[in-house]
A and B are shown apart, each in its own frame.
Chain A
Amino acid sequence: MKQIAVFGYNRLSFEAISRLDKEFYRIVVIDHDPVKVALARENGFETANIDFRSDDDLRLAGIGGHIDTLFCFFDTDSENVFLTLSARALDPSLNIIAIVDSPESAEKLLAAGANKIIDPYEICGRKIHDMLKRPDITEIFDHTVFGRHDLHLAEVAIPDNSFLENMHVSQLELRSQYNLLLIGIVNKKVSDRLHFVGEEIDRRLNVGDILVILGPSREIRAFKKDVENEYCKI
């Protein structure tokens, strides 16, 4: 189970938390404003009222300890930068996701050690632009992958001793076997870059490669199960 600390309680963090599956994540909402903490508690979230400016308080909240992922969702960029900096100092392997208000702060946040920057305005602008220019595709994604319908993107890592090891991509036959689409493969040994299928020459899969697939969740579950089962053969 992953431990997530969400700093700053606002509309954005509320949306993010409600999207996360409670089964897999333990989420704690942290804010220095007692009013917001009370509000979060009312909404049924686990909360903590600590001051992010103090390293001791952060340690108390579990940073540098059991927390794997940190959301810096404060409204001002300076607070997010400060929190990112402190948290990165406490835990070099922490996964830090920060939102950014003005675009020039993005670089500062990255320099402070954030893993992922989210710019709500930029995303929104791009989205509206997509709505204007490619309405059908945007709509499909809104309704399926990002929406209520049961169509999801998933990533599957190839474990040791899997039947997939040393198999060629073209032999996978995900389309007919599982009703899944293979979007791409990340060859972890080489880089984090995603290679799209169709793009690449037919290559052999290695342990540790990550397959990015699209399909209904039932099929994804079935595929994941088979991948982990070393005796299964297609």
Chain B
Amino acid sequence: MFAKLVVYCAYYLKAADWYKASKAFFFDLLENRQSRRKKYFDATMIMLLVLSVIFLIYDIEHTDSKMGGYFELAILMVFIVEYLLRGWIYSDTYKIVIEEYEKALYLNLPFKLSGIYKKLIAKDLEYISSVFAVIDVLAILPSYRPLDILRIFIIFRLFKLFRYSDSAKLFADALASKRFELTTLLIFTCFLVFIASVSIYMFEYQNNASINTLFDAFYWTIVTLATVGFGDITPQTAGGRWVTIFLILASLGVLSFFTSILIAAFSEKMLSVRESRTYAALEHYDNFIIICGFGRVGQEIARHLQEEQSRFVVIDKSPEKVAAAKSRGYLAIENDASNNAVLLNAGICRGASAILCITGDDVVNVYITLTSRHLNKGLRIISRANRHDNVNKLYQAGANQVIRPFEIAGMLAAEFVGQPVAFEAISGILQSQSDIVMESVLVSEKSALEDRNIGQLDLEQRKLTLLGVISANPIHLKHKNKYPVNQQHFYFNPACQFILRRGDILVLLGRKYGIDHFRDQVEQRRLFARRSA
């Protein structure tokens, strides 16, 4: 009967939205690294911890302060609630119940609660014995007044900081990754300490006033082993001195081994630390560009983007190229860009506005293009094709634009032979090397340009040359000199009677500030207002 009730409850919870929502909320709050809530929560907890330790220090001198007591209680409640909540979201009880129940149904066995209890307890134990849970308990326990000796452990609360700060976690991870080496070293050190303490105890017990217990011997061993050597206890017998000599020699080995393990662990972790820092920096940006491949082309683009202070991140497999990117102050990730996780971490679905697949290898480019398109349907993808046959493959893979470096260079070479002057002119304009630039001005809704004809714009006086108008508006189709460009038309050299409609784009040639000035005036709608007045 009771078992039935349990199963019923489990099914009810499975279907309940409020249950799921609240669990998701607390998961966000406590565990989900991506969520903003966790950040605030972590900050609050760190503050509480620091405050509680400050109160501890205060309490040492001022016993029985009332405020401290209340505060302590409040912190304690928060910690307990947090501990229980973490236990709650650690596992889904109802899932275990349902799973067991359905298994029993399927196998035609009687459904027993004892099996479930066993599993639940196993899960709970798993949670309780996890490192962070133990630290949480250590933070709670000292507040239990009867165990006053434990008050010193309140300092352990600071270990809770590990939970709330990623850098501390990385430190712990680095140590954890060297578990095997550290264990070996620990066992060896234990032997050494045991042998040294016992032998010094044997030699010195009668002859040395300062070694009276085995604990004194142990204390002396540790002090010597760590090469600290306070000198408060010194061996007096010849036997004791021999033990000292051997212990010092052995401890040199132990210490250097320990140091080398630590250094190795940290230098291994350093890479991922840097990478996660890059990811963290990217999280604050939106509208950035992902550059896959930091070859010559990538460097050129990065340089331009840097000049304009646009945001971008470089992904490259080769460590040298990533190092080169970093030395120039760019954000860079050393990883394989065709890997889903790498692109997702880099923010392909979050803040990226475009991705450039410009490695020297077409196979890689196709693969990155495909991966990115699969991850983000609306993203702008520009890919580089080194061989002509691969252009269509890149379009099929989902690229918006495909660029062929050798084709462009070949074309420019041919242009240059034919018309060097014209070529220099146009490349100067396109590359913005000269003062003269080519820019577009949008005819926005209700702007001063809308429904005006070209003759009224007075462009000549403004020292601007109108090359043409880009428009998707079918109303213009009667005009001549139109060139289809994608879904729009480019109207070259439009006549004076050409009437501008909203959404049209003017392509102007002129000095940069001339065009900017024109654009400003258009935006402010002063241009014609003043005239008509």
Contact = CB atoms under 8 A, between A and B. Distances in A.
Interface stretch (B165-173, B314-322, B436-444): B436-444
Contacts of A103: 296
Given A124-B403, A137-B507, A212-B422, A16 B300 contact: no
Interface in A128-152: 128-134, 136-141, 143-146, 149, 151
Contact of B425 (A4, A14, A122, A184): A184
Contacts of B131: none
Given A139-B485, A140-B468, A128 B358 contact: yes
Contacts of B382: 128, 131-132
Nearest to B405: A124
Interface string A96-137: 010100110000000000001011111111111111111011
B475 interface: no
B413 A126 contact: no
Interface string B369-409: 00000000000001010111000000000000101011111
Where chain A touches its partner, the secondary structure class is mixed
Contacts of B384: 124, 128
Given A2-B417, A210-B421, A215 B493 contact: yes
A116 B420 CA distance: 10
Given A137-B440, A144-B483, A15 B407 contact: yes
Nearest to B295: A121
A35 interface: no
Given A126-B304, A136-B440, A121 B428 contact: no
B301 A128 contact: yes
Contacts of A143: 483-485, 490
Contacts of A189: none
Interface residues of B, number: 72
Which of A73, A99, A102, A198 gathers the greatest number of chain B CB atoms within 10 Å? A198
A13 B414 CA distance: 9
B422 A139 contact: no
Interface of B: 289, 295-301, 303-305, 308, 354, 356, 358, 382, 384, 386-388, 401, 403, 405-426, 428, 430-431, 434, 436, 438-440, 460, 463-465, 467-468, 470, 481, 483-486, 490, 492-493, 505, 507, 509-511
Given A16-B414, A198-B464, 16 more contacts: A11-B407, A11-B410, A12-B409, A13-B410, A19-B415, A73-B413, A97-B413, A102-B296, A124-B297, A124-B403, A140-B490, A153-B423, A181-B492, A192-B421, A199-B463, A216-B481
17 contacts: A11-B406, A16-B413, A19-B414, A20-B418, A21-B418, A123-B408, A123-B409, A128-B297, A128-B356, A136-B440, A136-B470, A139-B486, A140-B485, A141-B430, A146-B411, A181-B465, A184-B425
